[in-house]
Chains A and B, each alone.
Chain A
Amino acid sequence: NAGVTQTPKFQVLKTGQSMTLQCAQDMNHEYMSWYRQDPGMGLRLIHYSVGAGITDQGEVPNGYNVSRSTTEDFPLRLLSAAPSQTSVYFCASSYSIRGDTEAFFGQGTRLTVV
């Protein structure tokens, strides 16, 4: 089992560029989510999904899109990058959609927008 795999690990973007952060899990988990981690603010939920074809917004969804065409993959798209999106991004997956099982996290993507 690879667990949760995120790519790339590092990325530098120019303001206005778009990109997709990839996330894949091989544990057949229904629940997947994206967080951003900023100093002093902990992890904030961007978007989440409870299964293929079902996504919903978290606390800070503006500027980001997601889709879930398969159980395994949950890509995060930055539509037009802004310096405020400089952050570390984590993808996570859980077996249960009821919030009673632990989350498995990817290694993170460190994104810098200049």
Chain B
Amino acid sequence: AQSVAQPEDQVNVAEGNPLTVKCTYSVSGNPYLFWYVQYPNRGLQFLLKYITGDNLVKGSYGFEAEFNKSQTSFHLKKPSALVSDSALYFCAVRDWGSYSSASKIIFGSGTRLSIRP
């Protein structure tokens, strides 16, 4: 079965320090991987994606993610955290379990990132 896991419910980081939000996946086909961010009382916003190509993907707001095929991971990173980065972060993966031409996207359970001043 296709799945995506975010092992940490919460990550706490001091402002200015690097941050990592973890994501691991299990899919039967090529992994299409995404990160989204959700601010309070808002819908999700796209941050970045990996479809193919370079393993290091750069996205919005200074975030980047590294695709690691051997470890089936797609961790989200930022070199220097800001208080405004505090939000709920979701990893997502394309579900290849049904049609090959029509996709479902599976989301992880989310990680709450808290940046302290």
What are the residues of chain B within 8 A of A45 when measuring CB–CB?
104-106
Interface residues on A, range: 20 to 34
Kindly state whether residue B83 has any CB partner on chain A within 8 Å.
no
- Bound-state CA distance A107–B51 (Å) is 26
| Contacting pair A102 B49 (CB below 8 A) | yes
| CA distance in complex: A33, B36 (Å) | 16
Q: List A contacts of B107 (CB < 8 A).
A: 35, 42-44
Q: What A residues does B44 contact at CB under 8 A?
A: 43, 90, 92, 103, 105
Tell me if A's interface is mostly helix, strand, loop or mixed.
Answer: strand
**CB pair A56 B51 closer than 8 Å:** no
Residues of chain B within 8 A of A50, CB atoms compared: 102
Given the known interface contacts A102-B46, A108-B43, the answer about A41 and B109 at a Cβ–Cβ threshold of 8 Å is yes
Given contacts A90-B43, A107-B42, contact A42 B108 (CB under 8 A): yes
Closest Cβ of chain A: how far from B32's Cβ, in Å? 5
Residue A63 is within 8 A (CB to CB) of chain B in the complex: no
Do A106 and B102 have beta carbons less than 8 Å apart? Answer: no
**CB-based contact A42/B110 at 8 Å:** yes
A residues apposed to B, CB below 8 Å: 4, 31, 33, 35, 40-45, 48, 50, 56, 58, 90, 92, 97-100, 102-108
